A and B are shown apart, each in its own frame.
Chain A
Amino acid sequence: MNEVAAELAREEAYTGRPLKRVEDAALLTGRGRFIDDLPSSAGTLHAAILRSPHAHAELVSIDAAEALKMAGVAAVITRKDVTALTRPFTVGVRQPMQHWCLAVDRVRYVGEPVAVVLARDRYLAEDALDAISVEYRPLPPVIDPERAARADAPLLHPDVGANVVSDRSFAYGDPEAAFAEAPHVVGTTIRYPRNSVTPIECFGMIADWRPDDGTYEITTHFQGPFALHPVMALALKVPGTKVRIRTPPDSGGSYGVKQGVVPYAVLMAVAARVAGRPVKWIEDRLEHLSAASSATNRVTRIEAAVAEDGRVTALRYDQLEDCGAYLKAPEPATLYRMHGTLTGAYQIPNLTVRNRVVLTNKTPTGLNRGFGGPQVYYALERLMHRIADELGLDRLEVIRRNLVPKEAMPYRAAAGSLYDSGDYAATVDLAIGEGRLVGLLARREKARKEGRLYGIGFAAVVEPSVSNMGYITTVLTAEEREKAGPKDGAVASATVALDPLGGVSVAVASTPQGQGHRTVLSQVVADVFGLRPEDVSVTVELDTARDAWSIAAGNYSSRFAAAVAGTAHLAAMRLRDRLAPIAAQRLNVPAEEIVFSGGKVAARSNPENSLSFHRLAGASHWSPGTLGDGVDPALRETAFWSPPELAAPDRGDVINSSAAYGFIFDMCGVEVDRDTGKVSIDRYVTAHDAGRLLNPALADGQVRGAFANAVGAAFYEEFAYGEDGRCLNGTFADYLVPTACEVPEPEILHMACPSPFTPLGAKGIGEGNCMSTPVCLANAVADALGVSDIDLPLSPAQVMALIEPNEPPPPHAAAVEAREPGRALSGEGTATIAATPDEIWRAILDPASLARLLPGCERLEAIDENTYAADVTVRVGPVTGRYTARVRLSELQPPHSLRLDGDGGGTLGTGSGTAWIVLQPADGSTRIEYRWEAEAGGKVAAVGGRMLESAARLLIRQMLQRLEVGAAPAAKRPWWRKHLPLGKGR
């Protein structure tokens, strides 16, 4: 560190300066090269995926014969292809769970891939999806994790025998004694929702199969971890060397999410093999929102043993992690990433944890910015506020009293994380200083005096970076780990090379998705050689067949600054050490005398004695024969670096989950509108210790990005599911992402305690606000409203429910799921029709006229008494879909009342409805009273949720109109136009 620090302090050092980015010129002019911009070879087929409209069903049959006959269709991939060419994905726990890249025996979430059409273009491929007929046998779904964990819940994987696929308990220190002795025990229960930092670019890839050497080649913006490369190879049943992954130069954001391309990469690889042609697949937004990936939702019970002064002596966690329908590698990593860090920023010696992983009929989860941090800190930092409240202490004081003191660094947390550096108390002082806290308190007092709802929140968070490849094995018992062999470390790699004209190039396996890695690496490497950043060219595209990489490669766990940039520095230093003797020879001085500066290589004592860097750097290319004995050529150096502190979990499950640990202290003031429930952020302060900042402008960009993501998580974002598992937000009009009007500018402060464990002293910074900000905002809202139980997202409806607890709960989001099973849409109404009840009865009971009554009915065929099969075309908003439906009449009381049930499925998904109809004679006419309920699943529910109710009412209106036309004697028609009172919706 000292040598490095000295070097970075040099006058001309570029590292640490807020330089402009080399990436921007292309991106600003439309010359980025994203996956969908890359040229593909002639004959490339375009894929469209048929997805399950059911959350849980047996897959009875798939018939693609009609689709295969369609113009431009080359192939349809189904389960028989994937069972022949692949095997199920490796699962992170020892369970007989089968997760294939395409549904085989069952579908387990809405959106699960069932078949793939390959066609000349994407439009034709999508057309052909409609022609595939799939028979499903629906099974009861389970959506809520607590319900799924019960013994009587519907079972997702019968072979596993339970939905809880992992249940481990841990104890560190002596938590039982601490709880027994504590004067106070304070606890809270948190239900953390599902959300995702949905990148604006959806998934995409081009896959090919080279039969001659049996290699799959896949170009995709996979972001790592490359530990998933072996997972792909195993699934494809080939050696790792036969799966060549290449990344495009640009990727439109990831935030962890593009780890989720893995199952699709395997699927499209198989598709290319079956079709014998390259295959391109670009995901659309509905696919992304309904089925790509998500952070986990988690139910946490957390308790603290607390001394009189507010000091926490022990913590007890009970976490129930919902990973969706399958445990997709690297899950259950979300649950274990924070394991060593569960005591947060606090010096708490005793800890007990129970971790359960449960499966539900929802999208499988994966990496997402913050990765496990938001869930843990929401519980822990809510708890710290509650401890203060219940003990009548000052909230900030309780936080301060428990912080790990600077003198304790490096500090081993109870469960094993080794906090490398930091001065937490000073960072808190930085945040509240210069009148910031005083100002906030004054604003709150003033607002409250005026009767406004104003609250202040705090959050203190340790931000881990550079994940230990072994942390995830903490889910296994020590015996299981022994059998599997140790996993540890976090190998980063970088290559620095010199070209014949003396140019410097750098290649790293960091797969950036917008963070500006090329800029930072050019700064770091330029400093080593005494060059300018523009003299160093950096490539970040990765090719697993040619580049240096390890299973830890990739762009996740904030490893760039702390690990990758440092490794590039090491590689450059090694190359410099090889250049120095060559220079020494030419300048006739000892190698220790050589300095690299200002584009020259010179003798320290006599700077006049110099040669240009370029000349020296080209020497090993042009004249290796002149290097002399014992001097090696300097052409290229590849460095691998892994933090030695990252050991595998020990027998007592102690695990240092990350290499470096930054610290954040956040503080905010919010105001809540009493009438609308809208929360406005008045002030937000975020103080970071990320060690040495390599490019402060880019570091602040990371903070702002994570902060905006967190504002979304706090107030807007949740993947909502119907109780039948249907996806309720398939568009960006339903899954709300904050815009420039919702995201204020946070005040960003920096504290720099360099890490002694990373090559450049840097620690991660990109994920911290995703961990600290949601709970900081919730703490402020809780303070404003004076409530103690508060869950996200704090949408106006949820906040109103907290302000007015007696109002009915909000109709959307989580509340939909919490409701007892019932149907989403319902209504009732009356109509008067100019026909007698008998006439109407006959019209309904006669199949020919019933067919005319049903709007959009193209075919109606009796399959049983009063049961019919029908083909209907239904319109919802701008989209039209064909359904194959079953219609049944029952509870017949002629000519007085009946019940009509219909359910069906088709291109737009599934739908079902029931109508109860009562006919009352009224003066030669009939008064019809009706009540109806309906629900829809699949595509139409995901994208058209807002239009469903009006579509349903339109259908009823059309039916009544037709009823009158169909039933009434000719002479009486048709005065209904002005006389048909429409049903009132719910």
Chain B
Amino acid sequence: MPRLKAGQRHEVAFTLNGVAVRGEAEPRMLLTDFLRHVIGVTGTHVGCEHGVCGACTIRLDGVATRGCLLFAVQVAGRDVKTVEGLGGSDGRLSPLQEAFRRNHALQCGFCTAGILMSLDDFLEKNPSPTEPEVREVLSGHLCRCTGYTGIVRAALETAKGNADA
């Protein structure tokens, strides 16, 4: 990795939702601020900036990761997926997003992007999870609106749908 200078902007080139993008960031700039305010994709939210609430979760090289605990320069050359990359290119919702809608798994929607990204990763690796497993994964996220019921149901329903398909 090249030596970076504090106070200086560096170019960060990476793949965002399958598309090559680049932007400039100081070494101390958080990935969340970079995505939201430099690149201009605001679907990834910030709820605590200390790694607890999970609102900022993205997938980095396929792994669900806290965006607020990464610096922008750390994603150089890597693959980032955010909530904007979940649906089909035709604007259709993914099965998980559809299940969220059907099950009223969101209210204010502020926590939602992070939860979708965690579940996107989790369901890919665990196609038929149990409810306790789903709850365990969700315990990395805080939602103040829904009481989690709809979210748990949406995840289980998606897994079932995938299995039936």
> Using a CB–CB distance below 8 Å, which chain A residues touch chain B?
20-21, 23-25, 27-32, 34, 36-37, 122-123, 197-202, 250-253, 255, 284-285, 513-516, 697-698, 700-701, 704-705, 707-709, 731-733, 737, 739-741, 743, 745, 943
List 30 A–B pairs whose Cβ atoms lie within 8 Å, in order of A's numbering: A24-B100, A28-B86, A28-B100, A28-B109, A28-B116, A29-B84, A29-B87, A30-B42, A30-B83, A30-B84, A31-B43, A123-B28, A123-B29, A200-B108, A200-B110, A201-B47, A201-B108, A252-B45, A252-B108, A252-B110, A253-B110, A285-B47, A285-B49, A701-B145, A704-B150, A705-B144, A708-B148, A732-B52, A739-B142, A740-B151
B57 within 8 Å of A (CB atoms) = no
Q: What residue of chain A has the Cβ atom nearest to residue B102's Cβ?
A: A20
What 9 pairs across the A-B complex have the smallest Cβ distances?
A: A30-B43, A514-B108, A252-B110, A27-B109, A704-B147, A514-B107, A740-B138, A708-B147, A732-B52
Question: How far is it, in angstroms, between the C-alpha of A275 and the C-alpha of B118 when the chains are bound?
Answer: 42
**Are the CB atoms of A253 and B144 closer together than 8 Å?**
yes
Chain A interface main SS type: loop
**Are the CB atoms of B111 and A29 closer together than 8 Å?**
no
Given contacts A20-B101, A201-B47, whether A741 and B108 have CB atoms under 8 Å apart is no
**Residues of B with C-beta under 8 A to A704:** 146-150
- Which residues of chain B from 21 to 42 have a CB within 8 Å of any chain A CB? 26, 28-29, 33, 36, 41-42
Q: What residue of chain B has the Cβ atom nearest to residue A23's Cβ?
A: B109
**Are the CB atoms of B136 and A741 closer together than 8 Å?**
yes
Question: How far is it, in angstroms, between the C-alpha of A393 and the C-alpha of B81 when the chains are bound?
Answer: 61
Min Cβ gap A910→B in Å is 21
**Are the CB atoms of B44 and A30 closer together than 8 Å?**
yes
**Are the CB atoms of A731 and B50 closer together than 8 Å?**
yes
Chain B 43-68 interface 0/1 with A at a Cβ cutoff of 8 Å (1 = within)? 11111111011010000000000000
**Residues of B with C-beta under 8 A to A36:** 36, 42, 46
Given contacts A29-B86, A698-B104, A731-B48, whether A741 and B139 have CB atoms under 8 Å apart is yes
B106 within 8 Å of A (CB atoms) = yes
**Are the CB atoms of B109 and A202 closer together than 8 Å?**
no
**Residues of B with C-beta under 8 A to A739:** 138-142, 148
**Residues of B with C-beta under 8 A to A514:** 106-110, 145
Q: What residue of chain B has the Cβ atom nearest to residue A513's Cβ?
A: B108
B113 within 8 Å of A (CB atoms) = yes
**Are the CB atoms of A255 and B144 closer together than 8 Å?**
yes
Contact of B147 among A199, A705, A737 (CB under 8 A): A705
**Are the CB atoms of B86 and A943 closer together than 8 Å?**
no
Q: What residue of chain A has the Cβ atom nearest to residue B50's Cβ?
A: A731
Q: Can you add 7 more A-B contacts, CB < 8 Å, to A200-B142, A698-B104, A943-B50?
A: A29-B84, A34-B45, A514-B110, A704-B147, A705-B107, A740-B139, A743-B147
Question: How far is it, in angstroms, between the C-alpha of A95 and the C-alpha of B44 when the chains are bound?
Answer: 46
**Are the CB atoms of B104 and A701 closer together than 8 Å?**
yes
Question: How far is it, in angstroms, between the C-alpha of A123 and the C-alpha of B33 when the chains are bound?
Answer: 10
Contact of B108 among A29, A253, A700 (CB under 8 A): A253
Chain B interface main SS type: loop
Given contacts A732-B142, A737-B142, whether A28 and B49 have CB atoms under 8 Å apart is no
Question: How far is it, in angstroms, between the C-alpha of A514 and the C-alpha of B104 when the chains are bound?
Answer: 11
**Residues of B with C-beta under 8 A to A123:** 26, 28-29
B10 within 8 Å of A (CB atoms) = no
Min Cβ gap A280→B in Å is 11
**Residues of A with C-beta under 8 A to B141:** 739-740
**Residues of B with C-beta under 8 A to A516:** 107
Given contacts A199-B110, A733-B50, A740-B139, whether A29 and B144 have CB atoms under 8 Å apart is no
Given contacts A24-B109, A30-B82, A253-B110, whether A198 and B28 have CB atoms under 8 Å apart is no
Min Cβ gap B83→A in Å is 4
Min Cβ gap B57→A in Å is 12
Q: What residue of chain B has the Cβ atom nearest to residue A516's Cβ?
A: B107
Given contacts A32-B43, A704-B147, whether A252 and B109 have CB atoms under 8 Å apart is yes
**Residues of B with C-beta under 8 A to A708:** 143-144, 146-148
**Are the CB atoms of A28 and B101 closer together than 8 Å?**
yes
**Residues of B with C-beta under 8 A to A737:** 142, 144
**Are the CB atoms of B107 and A253 closer together than 8 Å?**
yes
**Residues of A with C-beta under 8 A to B107:** 253, 514-516, 701, 705
Q: What residue of chain A has the Cβ atom nearest to residue B93's Cβ?
A: A28
**Are the CB atoms of A284 and B49 closer together than 8 Å?**
yes
Min Cβ gap A204→B in Å is 10
- Which of B53, B86, B147, B149 has the largest count of A CB atoms less than 10 A from its CB? B147
Given contacts A36-B36, A731-B50, whether A21 and B93 have CB atoms under 8 Å apart is no
B97 within 8 Å of A (CB atoms) = yes
Contact of B48 among A24, A29, A251, A732 (CB under 8 A): A732
**Are the CB atoms of B108 and A733 closer together than 8 Å?**
no
Question: How far is it, in angstroms, between the C-alpha of A27 and the C-alpha of B135 when the chains are bound?
Answer: 22
- Which residues of chain B from 143 to 165 have a CB within 8 Å of any chain A CB? 143-152
- Which of B28, B50, B55, B110 has the largest count of A CB atoms less than 10 A from its CB? B110
**Residues of B with C-beta under 8 A to A197:** 144
**Residues of A with C-beta under 8 A to B149:** 704, 745
Chain B 97-131 interface 0/1 with A at a Cβ cutoff of 8 Å (1 = within)? 10011101011111111001000000000000000
Q: What residue of chain A has the Cβ atom nearest to residue B86's Cβ?
A: A29
Q: What residue of chain A has the Cβ atom nearest to residue B151's Cβ?
A: A740
Q: What residue of chain A has the Cβ atom nearest to residue B150's Cβ?
A: A701
**Are the CB atoms of A29 and B110 closer together than 8 Å?**
no
Question: How far is it, in angstroms, between the C-alpha of A762 and the C-alpha of B112 when the chains are bound?
Answer: 29
